[in-house]
Structure 1
């Protein structure tokens, strides 16, 4: 029986460190054995050497691993102890080289660079032709580490900025902007039926009377406009007086059509089959 937990990169133990796994983690089980929660490691538990593996895929590259080793042990990045750091770096790389040669290639390149710097630091320091001391072999590595750390911190800051689709979404609100009332269109058939109803009521009160009367369409147009000025809406049938006879009704109806033709009045209704109303045309300011 073996338990092989995988450790994240930020919690990797250093080589040679003791096991600090707590017996109980916040009252929660840290593993399951045959479906049962395991709150404490058995005393006779055997963990093979290959059970605890360090996954270098968690690091973003050789510089990330090197910076992790330096910061983990609180080394001064301007005065790196090359012997100790190089030894720990090689131990990390050796663990993954056995399983993933392609991934270890770039880490081996950095290891070669660390060994070269370590070797140069063991040699006597020679002065340059101008009499100045030679540049520290660690200078280029320190510069790269500082630049990498600066870019890494900037990436963390950018990732903390709220992002659309991850931290928030655009709110969409639909507002009805069309406030103009559109009255139902008065069909010709409806107007014809209303006129037929007026004529029918006119015949009921008609009297046989022979007389000569001159009727003016313009006068009836003026009379209709005056009638509409005193009311907002007037029902179609109220504009006709059946007691005046069919000739007057015809002239009055022609006057009504002329006013509608000249867009001086509007003929409308609230809904289909509703009473027809007449009003003055609306003239916007």
Structure 2
């Protein structure tokens, strides 16, 4: 049988090479900050009490005050070798445990008259321990919930805005090329009839607007009648330029040197024009 085996009820401070250490060595040097590390393992006197109760597998609702107080005082003695101010809360709890222990050890004289059940001196301490354990479990449950920037990171996805397709602008050179193409087609389709015509730019403008109404994009060449002669083409071309100038129609093309298209501006109605 091992003679160094601890007696039941003795507090084992540590084990060195498997051998229990029941007393603090007299020549042991404790650094000034060692107590802070020791106390940080517990979050307060209630945490230390709860640790001692759970380690001894005791019922928190029926605490044996004598062994619990002895174990608690053993921890306090170890703490008092360091910073006393840091252990003030623990000393206050030690005084409370001693008070409860003494009240439970004192004999209770019988009271005269009706029997009145006295309150258990441990009742307030038990209430505080049960409430503290419930809060500690709730805190542990909340801490187990995944947390942003600890367990995962937010994923940010940048969605680019839809770009609006911008068609090439119609330059004067494009209009000149379109006009020369019209003149070329007019020469091929001209006849030798001689007649007097009174041509009006405003009438051509009105006719073009009516033709564009509800049609969307219309090819530039489709706005002209090649069988009516050069004069009709000239007046029609002037009508188109005047409509563009007044902002009633829009010119567009899919790419440079591509066919030109004419369409009625969205805010313009044929009736108002």
TM-score normalised by structure 1 residue count: 0.66
What CA distance in whole angstroms lies between the structure 1 residues aligned with 2:233 and 2:58?
109
Structure 1 residue 282 displacement after superposition: 5.6
Structure 1 residue 95 displacement after superposition: 1.4
What CA distance in whole angstroms lies between the structure 1 residues aligned with 2:109 and 2:161?
83
Supply the RMSD in Å over aligned alpha carbons. Answer: 4.1
Whether 2:99 is the aligned partner of 1:116: answer yes
Structure 1: give runs of 5+ residues left out of the alignment: 1-13, 22-40
Q: Is the 8 A contact 1:126 1:133 kept in 2?
A: no
Which residue of 39, 48, 71 corresponds with 1:56? 39
> Which residue is equivalent to 2:81?
98
SS in 1 for 2:263: strand
Q: Is the 8 A contact 1:269 1:275 kept in 2?
A: yes
What CA distance in whole angstroms lies between the structure 1 residues aligned with 2:12 and 2:44?
23
Structure 1 residue 216 displacement after superposition: 3.7
> Which residue is equivalent to 1:266?
250
What CA distance in whole angstroms lies between the structure 1 residues aligned with 2:224 and 2:174?
11
What CA distance in whole angstroms lies between the structure 2 residues aligned with 1:56 and 1:198?
93
SS in 1 for 2:234: helix
Whether 2:113 is the aligned partner of 1:161: answer no
Q: How does 1:66-77 map to 2 (within 5 A)?
A: 66-77=49-60
SS in 2 for 1:59: coil
**Offset from partner CA, 1:105-149 (integer Å, 9 cap, x none):** 111111111111111111112456763132221111111111111
Distance 1:164 1:279, change over 3 A: same
What CA distance in whole angstroms lies between the structure 2 residues aligned with 1:264 and 1:134?
101
Which residue of 234, 244, 251 corresponds with 1:250? 234
> Which residue is equivalent to 2:5?
none
Distance 1:138 1:126, change over 3 A: farther
Distance 1:213 1:65, change over 3 A: same
> Which residue is equivalent to 2:260?
276
> Which residue is equivalent to 1:236?
220
Distance 1:193 1:244, change over 3 A: farther
Structure 2: give runs of 5+ residues left out of the alignment: 1-9, 268-273
